């Protein structure tokens, strides 16, 4: 028996309403902040991710699904979408669209990680990016407010927002020298990866997950203490903006995030409802990524949420199955069967969910089936009904039965549908 690949899973019909709730709420909330949906390909040239996320990051060095296609091109399944969105910004000359272009996306992403609770190889992100000429910290604060608003709307409780600044190309070189000095004495005690990173990309040492390295990393100097004046002012302004918007946060001096493109603002939102993989969302600023990819100078900030993790943090009763049939048609005999098909088509055109069995059964079995499917009403069409042109409608909640003409039946079902829809609202 061939089963799903390790780290992937099916989303079954009973689970889909919760997924749709997350997706539809994102579309509603992000739209209110002026973000528009973009859909980029699921695979891109490997070089796009290698250059933006960084050759030395775990994502690029260890986790990408990379393959050569039949034409000999080296491609990768997207491990994240910021690189793709910035590529699209450049490719479609989006700087002509306005000074800050706001985009959001949702869909599957791929990382070859060790699967565990909240960590998969195909996982889903909902993310947003604001790219343009402006790096006003108010844009950062507005984006963070939008994520908070989204999580509030979903009822995701027990969460924390951590912020930090990772500086820019002006202050980082001096900090990296400090970092290297501080680590030089203990270099031989760091893991092999970190010994290599020390030469190739020392900042990535701060992102190392190896247990034995943690005490050294904790004692290393923090970037926050070595920011240039402009970065320090940007961070102070971000804090002020968050406070003015009433958004609670903590400064996490060690937060560097696992991607190379970040500058200045870096943030993460965690939930106490999750296990070891407790980050529901992460993001930050990436001024200069456009230039790195051959585009015009541009600033950018964005974030992405992990949908599987969000689902773990979501209240149990957040969404209900909404696809129970409005009507189950039970027919007896061949002529009644044809009539059932006709009536069903008419009602379905009117937007009702109508189900019948293809196989003829005894009435008792048909009613049991209507019950099992949680149908609101059942319609009986037998020879008598057919001859009279009137049908027996049974309310599956009360058991009451009524004999109705086709027109009266349509009216009754439509009214009931409207009532239950307004009840749900
Ligand atoms: P990231 O922190 O790598 O950032 O991923 C964002 C979120 O995706 C994580 O906080 C987590 O919830 C979820 N996630 C990541 N890997 C997995 C996995 N293997 N299984 C389940 N969930 C996962 C980015 O991807 C950046 N592109 C975010 C960003 C947008 N920064 C600026 N703009």
- pLDDT recorded at residue 423: 64
Q: Running DSSP on this structure, what letter comes out for residue 222? A: P
Please give the distance, rounded to the nearest whole angstrom, from the Cα atom of residue 273 to the centre of ligand 1: 18
Q: Are 410 and 320 in contact (CB under 8 A)?
A: no
User: For ligand 1, what atom is nearest to the CA of residue 82?
Assistant: 27
Residue with tokens 């070859």: 112
Residues 6+ apart with CB under 8 A from 277: 116, 117, 118, 119, 309
Cα 365 to Cα 334: distance, rounded to the nearest angstrom: 17
Q: What is the mean pLDDT of residues 81-101?
A: 97
pTM of the model: 0.92
Residue with tokens 């002006």: 170
**Strand 159-165 versus strand 122-132 pairing type:** unpaired
Q: Is the pLDDT confidence value at 336 over 80?
A: yes
**Where exactly are the structural domains of the chain?**
16-171+227-313, 327-424
How far, CA to CA in Å, does 381 sit from each of 351, 410, 412?
21, 15, 17
User: For ligand 1, what atom is nearest to the CA of residue 268?
Assistant: 10
Tokens of 351: 């937007």
Residues 6+ apart with CB under 8 A from 373: 324, 325, 328, 355
Q: Which residues line ligand 1 (CB under 6 A)?
A: 80-82, 111, 113, 118-120, 123, 125, 127, 129, 258-259, 279-284, 302-304, 306, 308-309
Q: Is the pLDDT confidence value at 178 over 60?
A: yes
Q: Are 149 and 133 in contact (CB under 8 A)?
A: no
Please give the distance, rounded to the nearest whole angstrom, from the Cα atom of residue 59 to the centre of ligand 1: 10
Query: How do residues 193-239 score in pLDDT, each as one tens digit?
Result: 999 999 999 998 998 889 999 999 999 999 999 999 999 999 999 99
Burial 11-46 (b: 16+ CB within 10 A, else e): eeeeeeebbebbeebbeebbeebebeebebeebbeb
How far, CA to CA in Å, does 272 sit from each of 26, 122, 318, 326?
22, 23, 18, 40
For ligand 1, atom 32, the nearest C-alpha belongs to: 302
Q: Is the pLDDT confidence value at 113 over 60?
A: yes
Q: What is the mean pLDDT of residues 187-198?
A: 93
Mean pLDDT for all residues in the chain = 94
**Please, where are the H alpha helices in 155-209?**
172-184, 192-200
Please give the distance, rounded to the nearest whole angstrom, from the Cα atom of residue 306 to the centre of ligand 1: 6
Q: What is the mean pLDDT of residues 309-337?
A: 89
Tokens of 86: 């910035």
- Selected from 2.130.10.10, 3.40.50.720, 2.40.340.10, 3.40.50.800, the CATH number assigned to the domain covering 327-424 reads 3.40.50.800
Q: Is the pLDDT confidence value at 70 over 80?
A: yes
Please give the distance, rounded to the nearest whole angstrom, from the Cα atom of residue 304 to the centre of ligand 1: 6
Q: Hey, which of 306, 307, 309, 310 would you mutate to test ligand 1's pocket, going by the most ligand atoms within 8 Å of its Cβ? A: 306
Query: How do residues 234-286 score in pLDDT, each as one tens digit?
Result: 999 999 999 999 999 999 998 999 999 999 999 999 999 888 889 999 999 99
User: For ligand 1, what atom is nearest to the CA of residue 269?
Assistant: 10
- pLDDT recorded at residue 418: 82
Q: Domain 16-171+227-313: what homologous superfamily? A: Bira Bifunctional Protein; Domain 2 (3.30.930.10)
- pLDDT recorded at residue 419: 80
């Amino acid at each position: 028996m061939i089963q799903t690949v390790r780290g992937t899973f099916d989303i079954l019909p009973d689970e889909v309403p919760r997924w749709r709730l997350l997706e539809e709420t994102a579309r509603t909330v992000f739209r209110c902040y002026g973000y528009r949906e973009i859909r980029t390909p699921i695979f891109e040239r490997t070089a796009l991710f290698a250059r933006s996320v960084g050759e030395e990051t775990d994502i690029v060095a260890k986790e990408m699904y990379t393959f050569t296609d039949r034409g000999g091109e080296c491609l990768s399944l997207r491990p994240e979408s910021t690189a793709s969105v910035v590529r699209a910004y450049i490719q479609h000359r989006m700087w002509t669209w306005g000074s800050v272009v706001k985009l959001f996306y949702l869909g599957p992403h791929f990382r070859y990680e060790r699967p565990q609770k909240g960590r998969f190889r195909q996982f889903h992100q909902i993310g947003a990016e604001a790219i343009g000429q402006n790096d006003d910290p108010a844009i950062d604060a507005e984006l963070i407010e939008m994520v908070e608003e989204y999580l509030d709307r979903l009822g995701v409780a027990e969460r924390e927002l951590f912020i930090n600044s990772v500086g820019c190309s002006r202050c980082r070189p001096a900090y990296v020298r400090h970092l290297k000095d501080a680590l030089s004495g203990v270099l031989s005690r760091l893991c092999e990866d970190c010994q290599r990173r020390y030469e190739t990309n020392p900042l990535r040492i701060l992102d190392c997950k190896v247990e034995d390295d943690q005490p050294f990393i904790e004692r290393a100097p923090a970037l926050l203490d070595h920011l240039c004046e402009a970065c320090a002012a940007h961070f102070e302004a971000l804090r002020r903006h968050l406070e003015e918007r009433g958004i609670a946060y903590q400064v996490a001096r060690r937060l560097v995030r696992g991607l190379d493109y970040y500058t200045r603002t870096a943030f993460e939102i965690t939930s106490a409802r999750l296990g070891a993989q407790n980050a529901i969302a992460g993001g930050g600023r990436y001024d200069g990524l456009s230039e790195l990819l051959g585009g015009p100078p541009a600033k950018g900030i964005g974030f992405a949420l992990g949908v599987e993790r969000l689902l773990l943090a979501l209240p149990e009763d957040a969404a209900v199955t909404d696809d129970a049939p409005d009507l189950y048609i039970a027919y007896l005999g061949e002529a009644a069967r044809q009539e059932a098909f006709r009536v069903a088509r008419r009602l379905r055109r009117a937007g009702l969910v109508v189900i019948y069995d293809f196989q003829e059964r005894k009435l008792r079995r048909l009613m049991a089936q209507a019950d099992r499917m949680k149908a609101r009403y059942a319609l009986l069409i037998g020879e008598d009904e057919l001859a009279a042109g009137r049908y027996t409608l049974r309310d599956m909640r009360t058991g009451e039965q009524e004999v109705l003409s086709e027109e009266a039946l349509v009216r009754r079902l439509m009214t009931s549908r409207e009532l239950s829809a307004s009840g749900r609202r």
